[in-house]
């Protein structure tokens, strides 16, 4: 049975409660986490970036973290990545091509036109390797494709087709832990004489007590202090890059020591200089992100921005997006790009992923807020990411166990009635978030100018049309009139400037903001590409949860 029914990243928070009570009595054999019924403790309840929100280390042994350096070094992410738009796919739920109800690699390949129409040119695939769970983050073979998703030949065909389209693929890289069904763990468990005894962190002479991801027994931690383990894991990363992948999304990077990431970077870049190394450092603290950039990541997900926008990832409506905090808090994540992180480092901007409540739920199903979240993620500095189904407003809320994260990874809703070619149906409980004829499907939104899908495609067109919406040259507007529910940014490219103002509040605004001021190029007339300008150019009108994007060209 799959007792770790959700991906661990958010079961982290539930597991913490269990962990704390079970640390003193380390599991002696894998036990179901049947006791995970308490609501999660709330380590990231604050939306204020804070170094103290670092999750509790998953083992009884404190893990060293990379040292801070006074002089941030330059980390240059690959050029192709700087203008990328990522589409995150949970393959099981995306598109099925062999009628077993499970999405597959061929299905991803068949929907590339759809993905490109969203302006996305880079796909991040969550794990598609052999594993014992539905989510795949417990890998049993780092060098194979899970037969449910296809074959190595399917993978090669996908990368070939992506290259033909000038698209890119980022694969998930799980270096913190393996599955307890991984052959090396099975060989070493209860067998101290095994050659793999030193590949994990066994804590007793019988090899029955071991460190694992947040105490989850089926996810034993790799011993990355062992050079053989590092070589094995790094070889697996090279294997997928050799087969045509363009980057690694490094799962739970916080769990693995800095020297490992430095070694990974040096070896990967020697062979694949244009591969992107993207880290999941789930932390609201900028100093932590800074340390991990310096450990060797080209890019990190902007969790400080995400947590400020949405509040608690498991609770809806409690962040800036819903007016619960001043939007001026969102200024800081952009300033950090210019002032704190290494020059050339890249931030991935996202409003939900497979470990969080979906943004449509967090927006309380308000189409204005969904569009505001989309525009603020896709048009502001950073590399935007769209979580599959976000573009049609698929809802997703953490369940109350034993099934929880599945409810944020539901089958992509291609059709009004949930039936048709490619539709997956591996998960269809009656309490799911997305149902037939609810307006949430590609079919119901296709061709409708006011639909969320059409809005995402409009954002894609704007990014394609205006280089300033893809450049790293920007400034944060300190005061947007007196509106502390507003965020304002300038973005620049050669001969072009764009003003972006977002209103994260329920009150309409009239912002005294003189568009004839020095910030704008004097030689051209402003054109509103989202929202509308008033006749009086000294005043900017904003609807509740509205936005204004003005281009000078
Ligand atoms: Ca299938
Ligand atoms: Ca639906």
Give the pair of three-digit tokens for residue 490: 């300038």
Ligand 2 mean position to 412 CA, how many Å?
9
Q: Which ligand gives the minimal distance to the CA of 148? A: 1
Q: Where are the domain boundaries for CATH 2.60.40.1180 in the chain?
A: 474-552
Residues known to be catalytic: 251, 280
Length of the chain: 553
**Please, is 545 exposed, middle or buried when counting C-beta atoms within 10 Å of its C-beta (0-12, 13-18, 19+)?**
buried
Provide the pLDDT for residue 512.
87
Distance from the alpha carbon of residue 462 to the mean position of ligand 2, in angstroms: 28
Instruction: State in Å: Cα 45 to ligand 2 middle.
Output: 31
Chain-centroid distance, C-alpha 102: 22
Q: Which two tokens stand for residue 3?
A: 């007792």
Ligand that comes closest to the CA of residue 146: 1
Q: How many whole angstroms from 403 Cα to the centroid of ligand 2? A: 20
CA dist 347 and 332 (Å) reads 13
State residue 538's pLDDT score: 82
Burial of 263 (0-12, 13-18, 19+ CB in 10 A): middle
CATH 2.60.40.1180 fits 474-552, yes or no: yes
How many whole angstroms separate alpha carbon 441 and alpha carbon 431?
Answer: 18
Task: Return the ligand number nearest the Cα of 416.
Answer: 2
Which residues, at least 6 apart from 209, have a Cβ–Cβ distance to it below 8 Å? 26, 27, 28, 202, 203
Which ligand is located closest to the Cα atom of residue 440?
2
**Region 8-29+44-178+226-464: CATH code:** 3.20.20.80
Q: What pLDDT is attached to residue 522? A: 58
Ligand (nearest to CA of 392): 2
Question: How confident is the model at residue 516, as a pLDDT?
Answer: 64
* Predicted local distance difference test score (pLDDT) of residue 523: 61
- pTM summary value: 0.87
Do 531 and 542 meet the contact criterion of CB atoms below 8 Å apart?
Answer: yes
Distance 446 CA to ligand 2 centre (A): 13
Ligand 1 mean position to 334 CA, how many Å?
41
Domain with CATH 3.20.20.80 in the chain: 8-29+44-178+226-464
Question: Is residue 147 exposed (0-12), middle (13-18) or buried (19+ Cβ within 10 Å)?
Answer: exposed
Residue 102: which of 145, 44, 139 has the closest Cα?
145
Q: How many whole angstroms from 463 Cα to the centroid of ligand 1?
A: 33
Residue 320 and residue 94 in contact, taking contact as beta carbons nearer than 8 Å: no
- In angstroms, rounded to a whole number, what is the distance separating the alpha carbons of residues 163 and 158? 9
- Ligand closest to 437 (CA) is 2
246 C-alpha to ligand 1 centroid (Å): 24
392 CA to centre of ligand 2 in angstroms = 9
Give, for all 553 residues of the chain, the pLDDT tens digit: 333 333 333 333 333 333 332 322 333 333 222 222 223 332 222 233 333 222 222 222 333 333 433 445 778 899 999 999 999 999 999 999 999 999 999 999 999 999 999 999 999 999 999 999 999 999 999 999 999 999 999 999 999 999 999 999 999 999 999 999 999 999 999 999 999 999 999 999 999 999 999 999 999 999 999 999 999 999 999 999 999 999 999 999 999 999 999 999 999 999 999 999 999 999 999 999 999 999 999 999 999 999 999 999 999 999 999 999 999 999 999 999 999 999 999 999 999 999 999 999 999 999 999 999 999 999 999 999 999 999 999 999 999 887 889 999 999 999 999 999 999 999 999 999 999 999 999 999 999 999 999 999 999 999 999 999 999 999 999 999 889 999 999 999 998 999 999 999 999 999 987 766 545 555 678 899 999 998 887 889 999 999 999 999 8
Q: From the CA of 382, how far away is ligand 1's center (Å)?
A: 34
Amino acid 391: pLDDT? 98
């Amino acid at each position: 049975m799959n007792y770790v029914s959700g991906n661990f990243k958010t079961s982290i928070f539930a597991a913490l409660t269990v962990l704390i009570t079970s640390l003193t009595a380390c599991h002696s054999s894998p036990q179901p986490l049947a006791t995970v019924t308490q609501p999660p403790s709330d380590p990231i309840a604050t939306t204020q970036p804070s170094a103290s929100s670092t999750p509790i280390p998953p083992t009884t042994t404190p893990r060293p973290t990379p040292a801070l350096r006074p002089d941030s070094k330059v980390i240059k992410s690959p050029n192709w990545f700087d203008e990328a738009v990522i589409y995150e796919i949970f393959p099981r739920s995306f598109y099925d091509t062999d009628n077993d109800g499970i999405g597959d690699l061929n299905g991803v390949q068949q929907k590339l036109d759809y993905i490109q129409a969203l302006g996305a040119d880079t796909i991040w695939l969550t794990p598609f390797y052999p594993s014992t769970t539905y989510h795949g983050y417990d890998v049993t073979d780092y060098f194979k494709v899970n037969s449910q998703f296809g074959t190595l030949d399917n993978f090669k065909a996908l990368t070939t087709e992506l290259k033909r389209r000038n698209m890119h693929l980022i694969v998930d890289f799980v270096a913190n832990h393996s599955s307890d069904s991984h052959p090396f763990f099975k060989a070493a468990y209860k067998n101290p004489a095994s050659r793999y005894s030193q590949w994990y962190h066994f804590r007793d002479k019988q090899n029955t007590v071991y460190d694992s991801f947040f105490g989850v027994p089926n996810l034993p931690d790799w011993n990355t202090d062992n050079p053989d383990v590092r070589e094995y894991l790094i070889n697996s990363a090279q294997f997928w890059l050799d087969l045509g992948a363009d980057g690694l999304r490094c799962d739970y990077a916080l769990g693995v020591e800095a020297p490992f990431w430095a070694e990974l970077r040096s070896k990967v870049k020697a062979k694949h200089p244009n591969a992107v190394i993207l880290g999941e450092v789930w932390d609201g603290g900028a100093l932590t992100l800074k340390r991990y950039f310096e450990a060797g990541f080209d890019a990190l997900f902007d969790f400080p921005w995400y947590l400020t926008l949405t509040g608690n990832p498991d609770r809806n409506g409690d962040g800036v997006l819903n007016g619960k905090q001043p939007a001026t808090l969102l200024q800081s994540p952009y300033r950090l790009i210019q002032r704190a992180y290494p020059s050339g480092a890249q931030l991935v901007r996202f409003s939900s992923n497979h470990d969080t409540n979906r943004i449509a739920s967090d927006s309380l199903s308000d189409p204005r807020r969904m569009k505001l979240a989309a525009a603020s993620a896709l048009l502001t500095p950073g590399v935007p990411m769209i979580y599959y189904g976000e573009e049609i407003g698929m809802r997703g809320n953490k369940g109350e166990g034993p099934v929880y994260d599945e409810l944020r990874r539901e089958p992509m809703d291609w059709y009004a009635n949930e039936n048709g070619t490619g539709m997956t149906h591996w998960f269809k409980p009656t309490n799911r978030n997305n149902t037939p004829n609810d307006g949430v499907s590609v079919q119901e939104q296709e061709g409708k100018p006011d639909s969320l899908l059409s809005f995402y495609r409009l954002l894609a067109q704007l990014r394609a049309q205006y280089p300033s919406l893809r450049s790293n040259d920007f400034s944060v507007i300190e005061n947007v009139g007196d509106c502390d529910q507003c965020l304002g940014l300038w973005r620049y490219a050669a001969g072009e400037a764009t003003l972006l103002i977002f209103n994260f509040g329920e009150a309409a605004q009239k912002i005294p903001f003189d568009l004839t001021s020095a910030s704008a190029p004097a030689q051209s007339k402003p054109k509103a590409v989202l929202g509308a300008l008033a006749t009086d150019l000294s005043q900017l009108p904003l609807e509740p949860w509205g936005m204004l994007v003005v281009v000078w060209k």
